[in-house]
Structure 1
Amino acid sequence: MAASSSSSGISLEEKYDVFLSFRGEDTRLGFTSHLYSALTKRNVRAFLDDQLIRGEHINPSLLNAIERSKIAVIVFSPGYASSTWCLEELVQIVRCKKEQGQIVIPVFYHVEPRHVRRQSGSFGDEFAKLEERFMEQADQWRTALTEVATLSGWDSDVVRHEAVLVQQIASDVYDKLNYLSPVKDKELVGVKKHIDKIESLLCIGSKDVFTVGIWGTVGVGKSTVASVIYRRVYGQFDRYCFIDNVRQRAQRSGLISLREEILSSITFVDKNSPVSTKEKSGSKKVFMVFDDVKQSGQIEFLIGGLDLFGPGSRIVIITRQEKVLTDCRVDKIYKVEGLLHAEALMLFNSYAFGDHNPGERYSELSTRVIVHAKGVPFILKILGCFLSGKRPQDWESTLNIIEGIPNVTFPKILKICYDGLEGREKKIFLDIASLLNGVDKDLVERTLQARNNFPPEKGINALANKHLITITNNKVVMHDLLQKTGREIVWHKCSKITPSHL
């Protein structure tokens, strides 16, 4: 996803994440503008025709923009069917859905889905006025309205708080884009074997409802495997959600808000609705992935029993401890093991050298380095980024430090990588580890600016390029191993400057 854009000065080669189709007179200055703002804050490139003057004939630029968008969000408002322009957009969207698999998300804004589907009620009255004037196009418009209105979408009469509705739609769009984005090939080294085995355990064609557990040591790649599988199969379910960092979220804000978020994701119903979970989910086929679960009770609290979900539903639980899965009475369990030597070397080299041939001298050094990563992809990535572009003698120096540590551990290796950062990068790293992990990126930047009195953007980008942080859902996220390392560094610094008599 890239920075947001409007249609002003549109280039025919430009591609978009989302195309917003709406009736300007109804929603341009209100709902649609708020939705556009919420999308751009998540770095979603949305097309909004805020500069074009509408008439009866659609601008060709709009048709091209629809074709170049991954997702189309259609805001059906009371006056939508009174616009030939909107209806022509809709026909093009349906065409792109059929021909190129474009995702379509309808939003029923102060109109009933059945009225859009049947062209009835006041919505149908508006359509009838156009039908009299454009009889040749009317059948095509009717077909498009009926087809799109039968899709799962969002209803302003169900989610009554408009601010909540906007944020939930933005989250839905972001999640869909996130899992449309292909994983880089180098991320998949050694992963395919796990994907094939876990997919066989999921038995997607079966109508049984059951749970699958995935476990393994920290940094071994459990989340990467699960996210790839999620991308591959979520489209075969009625409702789906990927809940990451369950343990961290539970510690930071408790489970109640997370449960409400999950309920909204799998039901498309306002979290404040009094209707029960079972009534909301009904017979829907649901796919849910819970990443980094620490305690079995967390899952029970978040979703209740499996009887709440329709035939074919799957619940995937990811954890570091097998005991969590046995306590949850998971039906099927799979352990993700570390990479084999050849796989580890391939992954490490991809981060240390990119597409370049490392040469014999570096090959010897690489073999020495990967021994200390013990097949854990996360450590291999960090070390590869840390050593990338450095001279052989710098590699030797780093290896001498690592090999000179008795009982070397991952935190000690990460401490060496921290020591190699520049001064400002170190300050940002420690602030994120201590205070700002999982916090909105905009707030992180403002806080760092206030604490350190220098622009933090360059340092944040440097840490992201070195895989010391990631930007996910516009939040700054640091891996647990790195956060633990950072907090230990801060603790040691504080203990040295604290007066002994305190």
Structure 2
Amino acid sequence: MKFEVFVSFREIDTRRTFVSHLLLSLFKNQIRTFKQEEEIPWNQPASSQVLEAIQDCKMAIVVISKNYTASVSCLDQLAKIVECKEKQTLVMIPVLYEVDPSHVLTQAENLWEHSGGEEKVMRWRDALNESIKIYLEKHAYWEDKDSYSYIIDRVMSHVLDRLRPQEMKKPEERKKEVYRKFKMSRFILLIPIGIVTMGVGLVKSALGIFMPGKEKPIVIKLRPTRSSVYVYKDEYVTDDELSQLVPSSDFSCLVGMDRQIKAVDALLLGLDSKQVGEIGIWGVEGVGKTTLARFVYQQISPQFQDHCYFEIDSQDNSVYPTCLLEEVTRSALTSGSERLYESVKAEFGHRKVLLVVDVLNRTGDLKNIRKITRWFGPESRLIVVTEQNDVLVQCEVRRVFEVEPLRYDEALQLFSQFAFKQEHVPREYHRLSVRAVLLTGRIPLALKVFGSFLRGKVINEWELELCRLEASQDSCVAKVSGYIGNGFS
């Protein structure tokens, strides 16, 4: 699939700011865009692949910044863009980012410092002069506005007018809509890209098998021999509490996670390396699914070119998308279309992508997510976190990881940490503590909250609270949940 727009820019100046918003805008409008995947050394020329991409594109957006002319690759790109413009095979849109035209012209006069050969330097200089000329004649008035969102709006109007003329029948309405979107997108810079670590969970590996002639799903279940409780600076923590204690990228303070991660790694390593692989993580609410998924994400995401941890119930996902992959995932869940899938193929079809979706409890949502992940590049991975195993079964997810409650002795130890601030239950409270642990269903979050609720109470008060809960007709977890709401609202 050929690209429609080429974006030339200097990574160190603009990739995390202006260009990130520009690329997101192009993607939202399903414009197939080519851009340099990563920063290359300043003295390395543009590759033949990049120059061929420029020749195939219909438009080029050149973002000239402070260090743009210090890159041989950028200058090569610019020279090729101007060459194609003069042949009338490409439309060029120059944009100046935090730099004056006079400064760029001065830089053009000093290009001999690159020692690229007299002929090449002349081509670079002419290309820069032509870029500034076009900018001053056609686009300099954009700088009168104090918002880069406005500049992106104007760029997109030019792009859509040429590449999608049928969508520009009502320019005023289109202008308002585009400007509204990009006015919102300017706030993306204020949202931390790092993902806050939440929850905690442990797993035990027990691989399934393949039966002769019939493939069985591979299921890893958590037997009651491992705890989903960890130590943070001598304190036991669980679930939501962890998100407030541990930074998103700091898991060094957690104890006991390694063996459980190996179980998930076994599932991931068993996936076909040439295809888009998927695994499921499931269990009841509060058992530690999200913690496990986030830990796995933090550990393996550096191995992928694009990665995103998408929380379906998070309000931030719907308002402040922080990357293209997040925007794609949200679009797939709300309004998937053939044009969206074509754009996904163009943007991510050659990329190694990691997508974690948490918590996904509807079969239809998983089917919609699969419609985009199938266009990801080789070795891409999808991890689905759910409370409904039926979702995984109906969609035939064959590699499944089940997180189960704590074993009895570990649950008692965790309960003691929050009820008595010590590892072992006092002798006089042992019988009552056993009853409390049974009422929680050995769910880490329930153990923590119920233990905290009973802390400091005398034996008679313990007996009263336990009797009230035991008399309830609800499930054990629902009983404690009621106390959580009543006691800590």
Query: TM-score scaled to structure 1, two decimals?
Result: 0.47
Higher relative contact order (CA 8 A, sep 6+): 2
Higher-Rg member (1/2): 2
